[in-house]
Amino acid sequence: KMPIDILAGTDRVRKEIEAWKDLDEMEQWWKIDVRAFEKIRKNYLIYK
């Protein structure tokens, strides 16, 4: 694995950068992933 893949947790970021994808497009799916993570983590937070 490439170091950027390990840091990002996926190869998607690297592949989209290599394909010269628009950063605004990348930000859209990134925000969707963040929202999904936030929903999951709510169940495990000790403090609000």
Question: What secondary structure does DSSP assign to 12-40, as a single string?
Answer: HHHHHHHTT--HHHHHHHHHHHHHHHHHH
C-alpha distances in Å from residue 14, one per residue of 18, 22, 30, 33: 6, 13, 13, 16
Return the pLDDT at 18: 97
Distance separating alpha carbons of residues 5 and 11, to the nearest angstrom: 5
Per-residue confidence (pLDDT) for residue 31, from 0 to 100: 96
Tokens standing for residue 41: 């983590």
The structural domains of the chain, with segments of one domain joined by +, span 3-42
Distance CA 24, CA 43 (A): 30
pLDDT (tens digit per residue) in 1-48: 899 999 999 999 999 999 999 999 999 999 999 999 999 999 999 987
